Structure formats: structure tokens, C-alpha cells
Structure 1
Amino acid sequence: MFLIRNLTLALSVVIAPATVSLAQDYRSLADAAKSSFQPLTAEDLAASRGRLAEQVYAVERLVNPESEFGRRWLSFLAWEGVQKQLAPDAEPDLAAARETLRRLGSGADGLDRPELQAVADALEDYIVVASFAPAPAERQKQSFEATVDGVAERLADEAALKSARGSHEVERRLALLAGLDSLDRDDSLAAQVRGEFGAPNAYVEVDTPTLNKLAGRAINDCGPLTDCILGTSIRGTGLTNGVVSVSTLPSDGRARLLFTLTGSTRSNTVGVNGPVQIRSVGTTTFAASKLVTLSDERFDLSPASANATTRTRTQGVSKIGGGLGSRLIERIARQRVAEQKARADAIASDHAEVRVRNRLNEELGLRITEARGDYDARVTRQLRQRRATPRSIVYHTTSHSLTLDAVMAGESQLAAWGEPPAPLPAPISARLHQTAINNLLDSYLGGATLRRESVEEPTRINIVTPSWLELKADQPAEGEEFQAWSMRLRADRPISVELHEGRIKAIIHTEQIRVEDKSYDNWDLVAVFEPQQVEGRWQLVRQGDVDVLPTRFDPASGGQLSSSEVGLRTNLSDAINKGNRIPQTVDIDPIDLTKREGPVENLHMEGIEIHDGWVVVGWRAE
């Protein structure tokens, strides 16, 4: 649905005066967590394996492993990775379990089924337990203490939190704490983090006039008209001209939209009552309204209300078939029609109100049902298939706009801890912070492999990707011979984005890069882009060459690369930059709305600003 398709996200900056108290809070919570930690036991591992087995059997009952359909599904899910964990006396195989978990969140159609989601949940818990339980109690305690200390230290470092590396280090440790929370262990530290860093980090605002362009529509139709008034059977045609408009009503926690249908119907009818035929023309003016309430969970519709006024003019009264006594009958009929006209118009008005109410209920009911289906297909289902369901999505309306805000973060991911920046003064505005981008890219691209085998072929990826993640690779530089290449991204945090001083820094974290017969393991590719408007179109233009660094090397540490790393860096830099493997420009295309009903075909970007950690974008409807 147009209201939610272009979700954007925002994260604020921790202010310095709060940092000291925040550090003290986290230190005390870390100490409390360490003192209450209880090592996991073999019984905990067996219980976790039992919960996983229960969900695995439910899936196998669903797909029937003996059928061709079931075999294809289980092969796609690398199901042997789960079955290895359930074999009698089997040692945990965490690599295999993680691969199955990754595939359960790969975005394929059907992965939103509750049975598959339940397996993924159980598998996540099992991986945490299996990471701890086999180790001696003392080693578990040391690992846990190092984790909570690392969380407390890094959350108190504002500069580190703003960096991709620092936030990832926090989230990597939070993943363990979130897993332990599911086992009813002390969750005070993780709960505090989710509270302090759990404010909405996604905002989209649409002003009411633009909402009208997107949701309102004109009505122009001609159709049959039948009625029965005071014993007169009426038939004819009605030409209706009207408009459906939308207004927003103040509401916090949900959106309240008032749809109003106003217009008129011009009628030309013939009524029959006994031997008399009555020809009339009339005009009915009407107004109807219906309240629609939107929330992430459901779209609700209240019954429509309407009022209508009908005014008719009699054009002729005649006896059917003529014959003896026609004039007398017609004179009596005309007198009776005149006497009953006011009453007949009142009844016609009442009947028109019923017709208008029914029309608005039926038409709007169908459109809202379709919109809810579109919402579930484009948002709810897709995010669930990626295991990227937001912690919350909340609608709000004022008298002049509709706003959607969301917390786009999993249990172990950071969200906002303050207010977002002001939106752009545009009909549609979106605000996005780097953490939300990172969280989504984690779900969509984790563990993916990109490859290009020839200059004629496009860049391909081995996972399902949405349309907004279209891949592009420029042609080799002039005079440069094409070399086949592949790039496998890191499973967790495959791409990090940092937004600062009008620029976007994208850091691609790779597990392996292959260029022809050369292989480079665990390297980061760093590209900086700047938004620019070129001939009326917005682009992200790369600034300079792509930098390459070993994944574990922190330039801010002041350390030096080894001689072997320097040589590999030079070779990889040449392969990446001379081969144009990271695009020089990324086009920001208009948002295509031609597949939906209405006069608006595209949303064109009106402006973009990049603040400290934020990108703020505005669109106009055309």
C-alpha cells in the first residue's frame, strides 16, 4: 500500500551529559548480571534439542519428506543441518545449524508459514544453548562476563556507537544476551538496552492533500435506476458525478481516515401506477462518509452514514394505451402526483441515502480489503520471510497528515534512543538512520554471494531480492580486460552504512572475494557516495576509489598492516577499482505507482539531506 511502501528509519545521537549516568547504569546492570549468571547444563541442551525436535516434526508433517514437494523444500532449507542436531548422542554442529537458520530467513515464498518460523525460533535458541552448554562452567562464566562487560563499555562510548564497527560489536554481544533471555535467565541488561535504544527508528509522513491524490478518486458513471415510491414502480437511468476525498482525524497510536463521497445524480425515469405512466426528471445531491482506522495489526471500517436530497420535476402524465376516459384519468393522476410530490421526494431522498451508504460501504470495503492484502504481501509477509519483523509499527494522524513510525530492529539490534530530525518540507517525507539500514541489509543480504561470469552477463546473486535491491556493476574501465569474479558477504552485518556530513559511507564486509584464480578472505570494501542532482534526476555519486581493508583491522586504532596485508591490499584494490566492480553512480529512480488505481503515477524525489547519522528524503506526487 502506498502509505507504507516507502518505510524509512531514524536514529538520534546520545547527548554528552547523559553519557556518564548511562555508563554507570550499564556497569551496575552488568555487575548484577554477572553475579546472577548460572551456567547452562547438559539438561538445558537436551531440553533445547527437544523443543527444536517438536518444531522440526511439525514441519515434516506439513511438507511430507517422502513427496517430491517435501524433498525440494527440505533440500532448499539444508534440512540435514537440523537433523544433525537431533541424532542420538550427536555433538552440536553449529555451522550446519546456522546455515539452515540463514535459509529459513532467505525471503523465499512460503517462509512466513508459522511452522517454519517456529523452527527458526527454536533453532536460534538452540544455537545459543549449544554454544554454551558443552563448555565447562568456568569457561561459560568467563565468556558471559566478557560479553556483558563489552556491552556496558561500548554503550557508554558515544563515538563508537556512531560507527558501524562499534554498533556491530554491541549487537554481536547482544545476540548472545537475547538468546539467554529466552531461557528465562536474568535479562535486566538486555532489557535496559532495548529500552534505551528502542525508540522508533523509522518515519514516513504523508500530508493530507497528497493522501487525497493517492487515495481519492472521481466517480462518473451511468446506470439503471429502479425504485418503488407510493405504489409507483419506477425505472430509468441515473448519471452520477461525484468525488471520494480523504481527511485525517487526530489520533495517536493508530490512523483515522475519514472517506467522504459527495456528488449528485441526474435521473430520467418512467413510473407506472395502475393505468397511468409518469415521466420525470430529477436531481439527487448526496454526501456520505465512512471512518477507516489503520493499525499494523488490522484495518477497521465503521459503517457509512449518508444524507441525500432529491428534487423531481414531472414532465408528463398519461394513461397507458389511451382509450375511453383517458383525459379524466390523466387529470386525476396529475392532481394526485402534485399532491404527493413533496412526500414522494422525501421518500426518494431516504432511498437515495440507502443506495449511497451501500455504495460507499461496498466500494471502500473492497478497496480497504485489497489494501490490507497489499500491506501484508509487501510488508508483513516479506519481513517475516526475512525474519526481520519490526518490534513495532505504529500509525498516527493529525488534522493535516498521516505518520507511520517503526522500530526496525530485532531483539539484539540497536534502534533509536532519541527524537528524529525534522522532516523535509515536502508532501511526503521519510527519515532514515544508518542503524535501520544496517538492520534491514543484515536480513536481506547476510551470507549472500554475488558473481559475474562474463562481460555480457549481469551481476547475479544467489538469494531472493526485492526490486529495491536491484544489482548493478559498471562495465570495466576502458582498456581493462574483464575478469570473472565472485563476492561472498559476511553472514552477520554484510554491509554497514555510516551517514555523515552529506555523505554515505558504505562498507561491504566480505568473507571471500575471488577474481579469476585469486582469492581474498575477510576484506572490507569501503565506498563513499554523495547525493547529487544531475539534469533533474538524483543520483548517488561515488567519491574517489574504493578503499580496501582487512575486516579485523580498525584504522582508528593507529595500528599498521603487515607486509603481506599491504601486498594483498594493493592487488585487491586494483582488481576492484580497475574492474569497476562497485558502481560509480547509483540512480535514485522515481517510485513507480502505475500498478495501482489513481491519477498519481510516480513519486519524484524532491530533496535529500544527510545529517549526523541520518538521511532525510522528500518526495512529491506527480
Structure 2
Amino acid sequence: MQQRMPQRLIFRTFMAVVAVVCFATQAQAQSPARQQVATNLQQLHNWVGEGANGQRWREYLLSDALQTELAKSPEQVDHGVLRAVLDQYRSDASGLDRPMFVAVRESLERWLSELPISDAELIEMVRDIADDFQPVTQQEVAAARARVAATRAELERFLSSGTQENFERWKAFLEWDDLLGRLDAEPQEMLKLRSLDRHLYANVTGTEGRRFRAFRESLDHYLDLVQTRTPAWQNYVYQQIFPTEKAADSELLAADNPQAQYEQLVARLATELSSYAESNSSEVGWRIGRLVGLLDRVGRAPEVVAAVRERYWKPNFFGRVSERVLNAGVDNQVREVTPVHDNILGTSVHGTAVLSGFLKLDLVPSDDTGRFAIRLSGVAHSDTVGYNRGVQIFSTGVSQINASKQVIVDANGLRSTAAVARVCTDTTINCISAKLRIVERIAWKRAGAQKGAAEQVAARKAEVRTANRMNEQAAELLADANRRFEEKFRTPLVRMAAYPRLLETSSSDDYLYVRAMSVNDDQLAAPGAPPVIETSGDVTAQVHESLVGNVSEMVTNPDPMVTAHKIEKSYQDAKREVPEELRMDNAENELWSFNFLPTRPVRAEFAPGQITVAIYATDFAVYDDDFDTDADNYQTPREGFPLRDEFLISAQYNVEQTADGVQFVRQGEVSVEFPNRQRIGLFNPRDALLRVAQSTLKKKFNAMFKEIVNPEDIPLQGQGRDAGRLRMRSADSRQGWLLLTWELLPPEVKTAAVASPASAQ
């Protein structure tokens, strides 16, 4: 079978798919997660046995306490007890990485995530920890410092294992000497290390390696412990969360009173949680994420940290893609001509086979992974000549071929099961030729007697060939799809510590689903399930506004600088026309740049029928016209720049349905504001620079954020042919979610131009 499975099918299956069935609270007797915990726990007890060793494991893992909670109704379950049990399973005790223990741990995590916890219970839990202050100890700092030294040494050994030139390049890029020198500085000076260690998160080849990740994680933890003990650091963190509060609270944090600081932060967390329960405001959610992250950084209040995340770490992206879309890329009609060279029961067979068939993709229901089967059904007509001891046997055959191969899609990429083929062959002997007539008669008799057996042998061999061909082609395609998945998606995000914390797939008879949660330890995700999309579609997406802020923060922190050249290049890379106001070959356009703020630099608000996109930045600068435009190296700004004032660029769009689909209509012009300034004066020289910044940014971003945005159709390709288009049919925004649907349109029919009578003469 020479027909190649579609090159883009498998990769698009993984990359385009989206969404999953939302979790619903179930009665205790109907909770699969609870039942799985009970089953796995019983299997673990059977495995460890009733002896002394088994009893020690039961005591260490708090099995009696877990069994008590399993007997309760969901409303009565003590979350604190379950978290204490889970902590034991997550500990570093030898043996807990074995499958029996892992099964209990994972099922317990699922059950705990599904159990309801009221907002009032959560707030009360936070208030209860106000008296549990524990200062960071010298032993903790020493252990963290030792971990930094160990991971640094391992990274240095790895980098120096190559050429000296390469090692020196890495040291220069990482500003290695400066970074190491500051490790011995006073704690107050270590704040500057935060700007150096961002190189460890840069999207450059190599930083995704485990040694880089181990060093940067150990360094971050060490800095957290050391700097949290300094009033300057506490004040810095607090001001990142509450930049407008300058009075009593920040003064308290600036005081040398760690316990009072802790109590104040806990009180603030309880207040913010109460506000969030009423509003689900993304601003409040961001502050909660920062406060919880601060507790987590120094290993304090682990139960509260876990409880807040259990409550507010819900998937912030759902989507699905229909089987119809997946099949759009499949070249359904199969027709191939292949040579036949075989040996059947001692007869050497040669000829040609023509396969005519149909290739399709069928989704396979699966709750824990996405699955689809590629199926081939067809008929092969063969015309062959068999040679056996001077006898020639001319025959034709008809083979019914059915083959399938299942592909599994999950967070690790794609893999497949072995192909299975079934072939049924029927042959017709048309002529037998031999030098002697008596030999022909004997050959006819023998061929007739062996016909059934020969057909069976031919069919089995065809099954093996078909399955092997499918496996070989799938291996090549899967390797290519996984390579692209790694290069374009997973690896860049791992480098920047931005890979989704949750990425799960599933499938039904009709749809392939994925759900994802992008969040780091200083953030919250979605507070709950998304609204239901009320219109059907071939592709749907449900995006929570936390996804925008979370991902933008993670991917821009390693390289926060935005330049005129980068903006132009982003249009060129996307093969989009660059607006005149952004073209660098336009002599009227100045060179400019700014830096994203480190926290949620891009934010979205999805209100009823309205979308607001905002960019938070600082350090705006313009450059002289004789700047070297070929070297995208913005080092020497014009006098008076960069401006250290923070600014906000925002655009607001109404969502409107049209006869052809959807359009987004901008309300007024793009806004450029300086939040920390009440007004911009007319005579102050610095205010004049602010007006320059405001004017320039408005001009650029009015061009970027068009007045009317009509989403373009998304073309689908299959084996070099037009496979149709996805057109956005509906868009809705409410409750902090953006809900989108696309419909699959058939390929455009291109008709040849017909010459007019005049031109034909």
C-alpha cells in the first residue's frame, strides 16, 4: 500500500483540537474519583500485606484517616485531613514512586479537586492561620544555598563539557560572573538578581534542559527565602500587588516586624478572597494569586495554599474539533498501482495490483486520552503470472482489504498502536501454459486443488504487508508531528516556564476534546466552569480571561522589550500586510520601543457582548533617525528617554453577529493613559515627552487595533490540496469567558475561465 497517510493530519489533530466535559459535583455513591481512591487504597493494602511492614505503611500514609473520610458524604469530608494524607503520599519516602502508591496519590488528587469547598470555609481557613507565623530559619536558607551550589556546579560541568568558545558564549549570555557575584551580596542587593536570572528563562536552544531548569528553580527558591527575611523585599512584593497603597499597610511591611507582616498579608488574603467570591474580578484574582504565591515561595501555610488552588485553579481553556474537520485533511480516495513479487506455495508470482479504496478517520471514545483510528477499506485487483518448474499460471485476483491503526493524543504528543489488517482474496486462474499438454493438465488439476490454500496464504501475506506499511508510514508521520509539536509548542514554553500546568485530551464518537490550564505559582486560573456555548460548531473554543494575563506574563518576562522592528516582523512572519504606520521603510515613522510590565502585561476583560484588550508597559523611548535599523539593538534613545512612567494602552470592542459570521467593532479610538498621573501639563518639559509618547503610541496602536475586525477564514490543507475553510460563526463574551465557534466550509471551486466568442476568433 503506497498511499501515504496525510502529512498534516496527525499534527493538526493535536494542535487544533480543543475542550473537554466539565466536571460536575456528584453524589458520593456516584463519584468515580472517590470510588477509584477506595479501590486503589484496597489494592495497596493487599499489596503491602498485614505484616509489620504493611502496618508501618498504613500508619505513615494515614490510611485509617483516609478510610474514615471515604465513608463520609461529600459535604462532610474534611479537606484538611485529605490534604494531610496527600502530603504523605507526596513526601520523599523511599518507595512512594511505585505504581501502587502513585495510583492512590493520583486518584486522591482527582477526588480532592472535585470535592466542594465553600467560599466561607475557605475564608475561615485563611483567617485561622494568622497565628501560625513561622520565620524563615537559617537552616532553610543554608539548605537552599546548598541546593543552588549543587545545581550550579552541575550546570557548569554540562556547559564546560563542550568547546571553551561555546562555554564563554553561554557565560556572556547569562551574565554568569555578575550573577554568581551577587549570590554573596547582602539580601537587599539580591533584588537585582531577579533581572539577571530571567536569562535562564529565555527562549533560546538549551534552556529547556533539566540542568538549566534545576538551577533556575533552586536559585529562585533561595532568593525567595533570603529576601523574604528583609523588609525591603516584603515592601517590594507588597507594592507589586497594591501599587496605589502608600500609607499604613506599606509602612507596616517596611517595618522590621516579620510576624506583623505575615498577619497583615493573611488578613489581606482573606479580604481579597471575600471580594473575589462576590465579583470574580480578574484584578482581585491576580492579587490573590500573588499573595498565595508569596506564602508558597517560603513553604508557609501549605494547607491554605493548596485549598485556594483547589478552588481557583480550574482549566482556563476548553475546546473541541469535530470528526468532520479532522477528515477534511484526509485524501479520502485511494488509488495506487503496485508491483507484485511473491512466492505462494512454491510458485513465484509476479505482476501488478491496483488498489481502489477509501481512507477515513474515526474518533474513538476515550475519557483519559484523545484517540482516533485511521481506517482503510478498499479492493485490490491483481493481474499476475506464476512460475513453477516451467509452468506459467496466468490469473487475476480480487482482494477485499480492511486496515486500521489507532493514534493516541495526549500532553506528551502522539503515539500509536500496532496496525491491524484483514484481507480476503479470491483468485481466478485464466490460463496455464506449459511445453507439454499433459503437464498443463496436471498443473490445472493441482492449481485447482491448491486454490483455496493459495488464497489463504496470499491473504495472510497481504495482511502483514498492509499492516507493516501502515506502521512504517505512521512512524514517520508521528515522528514528524511530534518534532513539530516539540519545536513549535512544548519546547519554547518549557524554556520560559510557560507550559500548561494541565493539558488533557479526550474523545467521543463525534469530537476530539482538550482542556488546558495555564497558570504559575503566582497566579490563579479560572474560578469555575465556562458558560455553555449555545450554538453548535465544527470547532469551538472557550477562553477565560486569566489565560491571556497568565500566558502573557510568562512569555514576555524573559524578553520584555517591544520595538518597532519586532512589531513589523510579527506582521511579516504571519504573512500579513504591514500597516503604513508600522512600516520601517516609511521615512515618517520613528524608531520606538517600550518594555512590558513584569506582571500581566497583556490583559483581557470579557464582559457581556464586549471585549477589552489592555497592554501595560513602561520605559517608552524614541530613537534618532540615523539609528542602525539593520541591527535591532535599541541602546541609545533620544535625550529625555526612556520615560519611566507606566502607561496603559487599551481598546474596547463590541461583538456583533453579521450575515456572514462575526465582526468586532472598536468603540472609539485606542486609549493611551498614564495611570500614575492625574493630568499631563502643557509647559513642563517632561510632560512634553509624555505627550510625544501618547501621540506616537496612539498612532501605532490605532493601526494595529483596527476599527472593524472581520476574522479571516482559516484555510485547511490536506496533502497539498484545499481541504476547506473554517469560518467563525459566533462569538460571545460573558462571565469572564470568550466563547467562539467555527463552521467548516467546503473547498472553493475554481472554474476555468471560458473564452468569449470574440477572443476565441
TM-score using structure 1 length: 0.85
Give the residue type in structure 2 aligned to 1:411: D
- Kindly provide the CA deviation profile for residues 320-349 of structure 1, in whole angstroms up to 9, marking residues without a partner as x: xx3xxx122112212222232223222222
In the alignment, is residue 94 of structure 1 matched against residue 190 of structure 2? yes
Q: How does 1:390-405 map to 2 (within 5 A)?
A: 390-405=500-515
- For the residues of structure 2 that align with 1:431 and 1:613, how far apart are their CA atoms? 10
Between 192-201 and 411-420, report the one with greater CA deviation: 411-420
- Kindly provide the CA deviation profile for residues 546-567 of structure 1, in whole angstroms up to 9, marking residues without a partner as x: 33444458xxxxxxx3676999
State the Cα RMSD in Å: 3.6
- Kindly provide the CA deviation profile for residues 571-605 of structure 1, in whole angstroms up to 9, marking residues without a partner as x: 65444335556623167444465597675375443
What residue in structure 2 maps to residue 264 of structure 1? Answer: 379
1:439 to 536, 550, 555: 550
- For the residues of structure 1 that align with 2:269 and 2:21, how far apart are their CA atoms? 19
- For the residues of structure 1 that align with 2:580 and 2:141, how far apart are their CA atoms? 50
- For the residues of structure 2 that align with 1:605 and 1:307, how far apart are their CA atoms? 41
Q: How does 1:19-98 map to 2 (within 5 A)?
A: 22-64=118-160, 67-87=164-184, 90-91=186-187, 93-98=189-194
- For the residues of structure 2 that align with 1:241 and 1:345, how far apart are their CA atoms? 20
- For the residues of structure 1 that align with 2:494 and 2:673, how far apart are their CA atoms? 34
Q: Is the 8 A contact 2:331 2:718 kept in 1?
A: no
What residue in structure 1 maps to residue 293 of structure 2? Answer: 175
- For the residues of structure 1 that align with 2:611 and 2:575, how far apart are their CA atoms? 17
* % same residue: 24
What residue in structure 1 maps to residue 697 of structure 2? Answer: 576
Give the residue type in structure 1 aligned to 2:600: R
What residue in structure 2 maps to residue 556 of structure 1? Answer: none
Between 129-138 and 348-357, report the one with greater CA deviation: 129-138
Q: Is the 8 A contact 1:10 1:433 kept in 2?
A: no
Give the residue type in structure 2 aligned to 1:175: G
- Normalized per residue, which structure has more strand? 1
What residue in structure 2 maps to residue 430 of structure 1? Answer: 541
Note the C-alpha offset of 1:270: 0.9
What residue in structure 1 maps to residue 470 of structure 2? Answer: 360
- Kindly provide the CA deviation profile for residues 218-271 of structure 1, in whole angstroms up to 9, marking residues without a partner as x: 432222212222221111121222333222222212122222221121111110
* CA distance 1:494–1:204, change in 2 (3 Å): same
Bigger relative CO (Cα 8 Å, ≥ 6 apart): 1
* CA distance 1:530–1:191, change in 2 (3 Å): same
1:492 to 596, 599, 610: 599
Q: How does 1:184-195 map to 2 (within 5 A)?
A: 185-195=300-310
- For the residues of structure 2 that align with 1:105 and 1:428, how far apart are their CA atoms? 33
Q: Is the 8 A contact 1:163 1:498 kept in 2?
A: no
What residue in structure 2 maps to residue 505 of structure 1? Answer: 612
* CA distance 1:141–1:218, change in 2 (3 Å): farther
What residue in structure 2 maps to residue 277 of structure 1? Answer: 392
Between 165-174 and 215-224, report the one with greater CA deviation: 215-224
- For the residues of structure 2 that align with 1:175 and 1:67, how far apart are their CA atoms? 39
* CA distance 1:421–1:397, change in 2 (3 Å): same
Between 427-436 and 563-572, report the one with greater CA deviation: 563-572
* CA distance 1:35–1:565, change in 2 (3 Å): farther
* CA distance 1:93–1:160, change in 2 (3 Å): farther
Give the residue type in structure 1 aligned to 2:545: Q
Q: How does 1:466-477 map to 2 (within 5 A)?
A: 475=581
- For the residues of structure 2 that align with 1:368 and 1:198, how far apart are their CA atoms? 32
Give the residue type in structure 2 aligned to 1:459: I
SS in 1 for 2:477: helix
* CA distance 1:393–1:144, change in 2 (3 Å): same
SS in 2 for 1:3: helix
* CA distance 1:140–1:204, change in 2 (3 Å): same
Note the C-alpha offset of 1:397: 1.0
Give the residue type in structure 2 aligned to 1:127: L
- For the residues of structure 2 that align with 1:7 and 1:72, how far apart are their CA atoms? 40
* CA distance 1:534–1:249, change in 2 (3 Å): closer
What residue in structure 1 maps to residue 100 of structure 2? Answer: none
Between 388-397 and 542-551, report the one with greater CA deviation: 542-551
- For the residues of structure 1 that align with 2:277 and 2:592, how far apart are their CA atoms? 36
Aligned residues: 592
2:668 to 516, 524, 544: 544
What residue in structure 2 maps to residue 118 of structure 1? Answer: 214
* CA distance 1:215–1:50, change in 2 (3 Å): farther
Note the C-alpha offset of 1:61: 1.4
- Kindly provide the CA deviation profile for residues 473-532 of structure 1, in whole angstroms up to 9, marking residues without a partner as x: 66189xx96444321110121111111122221221112223564535122222213456
Q: Is the 8 A contact 1:194 1:411 kept in 2?
A: no
Give the residue type in structure 1 aligned to 2:123: R
- For the residues of structure 2 that align with 1:11 and 1:161, how far apart are their CA atoms? 25
What residue in structure 1 maps to residue 635 of structure 2? Answer: none
* CA distance 1:72–1:160, change in 2 (3 Å): farther
* CA distance 1:284–1:249, change in 2 (3 Å): same
Note the C-alpha offset of 1:441: 1.0
- Normalized per residue, which structure has more helix? 2
Note the C-alpha offset of 1:278: 0.6
Q: Is the 8 A contact 1:603 1:619 kept in 2?
A: yes
What residue in structure 1 maps to residue 409 of structure 2? Answer: 294
